[in-house]
Amino acid sequence: MKENRPGGAAGQVYRAKPRKTLGDRMILFGARRNVVSKVDGIAIVDMRKHGDLFQRTMEDALALLRQHDPRRYARVVEHIRWIINMVGRFSLDMVYHPGISALAIEFSEMSGMRADGPAAAYAALLVWVATGAFLLARLLQEEPQPKPRTARICFEEAQRFIARLAEVDRIAYQTDVLQMDFDTFQKLPVEPPSGGLPDLVSALRRSWRDNRRRIQ
């Protein structure tokens, strides 16, 4: 929803904050029952019961941002109030819910990376998402920004943060793996979701594995 405001520049409008959807309210209902930690007002929620691994990785990611990039960390704190580990529609899903300022991810352990690598990767992801939320919430042109341009801006912000980590410790944070240009990033192979029943069955299987983890 857009609304004009006095004093706005010619040809510009403000986009009102999105409303909570029924889906948002359902997510919050489950999230409030599974908060494992809070960092500067950001609730870390583990609905998949990964023990302390998810919690520790997210706390470390936020700590990296706070220590090495306070400006981008402030943007994350402003636009992400919930980080929720939950089963998505397909594996490694990630969705930002603007109505509740929540980032829902399907957490991956990234077992092939060194100890500090996953925290660095997720910190860069938080920068990406917070940048996208910032672009959505702030003054926009009447013609919406093309998605490719928005994606490039988010990508470049994440890369600037990764460059800061590279100056600190390129090896520990495996920045050589994370650093790339946008054209290379676009060419990375991505297995698209098949859609429909196969994705639903896959999500149900992952939910079943999570439930077994809770019981054990």
**Predicted confidence (pLDDT) per residue in 12-53, tens digit:** 444 456 788 999 999 999 999 999 999 999 999 999 887 789
CB contact at 8 A, 58 and 83: yes
Domain boundaries, the chain: 21-188
**Total Cβ atoms within 10 A of residue 13:** 15
Most confident segment among 11-20, 52-61, 87-96: 52-61
CA-CA distance, 119 to 126, in Å (whole number)?
10
Only one residue has tokens 């409008």, namely: 13
| DSSP 8-state secondary structure symbol assigned to residue 2 | E
| DSSP 8-state secondary structure symbol assigned to residue 175 | H
Q: Is the pTM of this model over 0.85?
A: no
Question: pLDDT-derived band of residue 215, with 50, 70 and 90 as boundaries?
Answer: very low
3-state secondary structure of 166: helix
Query: pLDDT tens across 96-146, in order?
Result: 999 999 999 988 888 778 778 999 999 999 999 999 999 887 754 444 555
CB contact at 8 A, 59 and 92: no
